Amino acid sequence: MLNTALFFDMKKLLALLACIAVPALPAHAGQKIGDNIELSGLVEVEASYSEADGDDSSDIVLAELELGIDAGITDWFSAHILFLYEEDETDGIEVDKAFASITPGDSGFFINAGRFAQSIGSFPSSSMITDPLTLDLGETTQKSSVALGWNKDAVKALVSAYKGDIQKTGDDHINTWVGALNVNGELGNLTCEAGVSYTNNFADSDGLVDDFAGGETDDLVGGYSGYVVVGLDSVQLSGEYMAAAEEFSDGTRAGSKPAAYNVELAWDAPSPLALAVRVGGGDEYDVDNQYGATVSYDLYEGVSLGAEYLRNENSDDTSEDIFTLQLAAEF
């Protein structure tokens, strides 16, 4: 049960975040700083309170700072750079993405070469503050990679290859590939997007890589995901499922097939208000059940204030209730 102290702390957090929000200025996504260069950025400040089996804690963090640069060099060549800082997560400011793209005319074909996140899992744009469990399980640390793909009309397909942090015992090679296919369409006010992806080295994800001592395994295990997003006017329903293709043979998860799912229903009200609810869970993963809701309000163009309640019921029979307030500014 939540105690009354929780609500007093939440009042303090609300007052604090309200003070932070006062000096916020209007922001606009993407600012031209030259004929062919565009600058963009994101700042997210979060205040949180959590209670886990009688123990409580609170914190204020700069949850995310992004600074992006896009350069259109010619009609065929472009470059993208994204710097990232996450308090308590990154070691200072990191180069999150840095890649060059070749897009021959309007053929639809493209080549991306450089550092970027892999496409295992789509993690449909979440309306919640906290990342979905599918992203926690399957997101990959950015790798230096080469991706070949085709993106035209309603279809996007790609294959990428890179050297994973998880290697077969005794190997030191480019050993990991990812394939993804996405389609989308519209019918009147109804929109739909769906996709699938696969990797031959699921252990290389952020959620699993630390489970293998020395970064080695006897056998690489594949992983797959599928998602669908359906929208009707201002309402959107999204869902994704991700899992290992077979049991791991070694590491701390030997004999298990970790899986996670996430379902969200979001409503972008005909006002600055937006609402979202989530139901998620895992199988042989860290969280068995997750559910919660978020309400957000657009203070200015590009500036929003959100509040979220999230409950996790964990695989070790513990549980936690988390309240988060977020001020986000995008330009």
Query: Looking at the domain assignment, is residue 311 inside a domain?
Result: no
Q: What is the largest CA-CA distance in the chain?
A: 62
Q: Which residue segment(s) compose the domain that 144 sits in?
A: 118-285
Give 316-331 pLDDT, tens digit per residue. 999 999 999 999 999 9
Has residue 314 been placed in a domain? no
Query: Is residue 16 predicted with pLDDT exceeding 50?
Result: no
The model's pLDDT over 99-152, given as tens digits with 9 standing for 90+, comes to 999 999 889 999 999 999 888 888 767 899 999 999 999 988 788 999 999 999
Into how many domains does the chain fold? Answer: 1
271 in a structural domain: yes
pTM attached to this predicted model? 0.86
User: Which residue is associated with the tokens 């565009």?
Assistant: 38
Q: Which amino acid is at 234?
A: S
Whether 231 is covered by a domain: the verdict is yes
Residue type, 128: M
Q: What is the pLDDT of residues 239-255, one digit of tens each?
A: 999 999 999 999 999 99
Task: Please give the distance of CA 176 from its chain centroid, rounded to a whole number.
Answer: 21
Q: What is the CA radius of gyration of the chain?
A: 21
When pLDDT is cut at 50, 70 and 90, the band that residue 17 belongs to is very low
Residue at 48 is within a domain: no
H-assigned helices in the chain: 4-21, 133-138
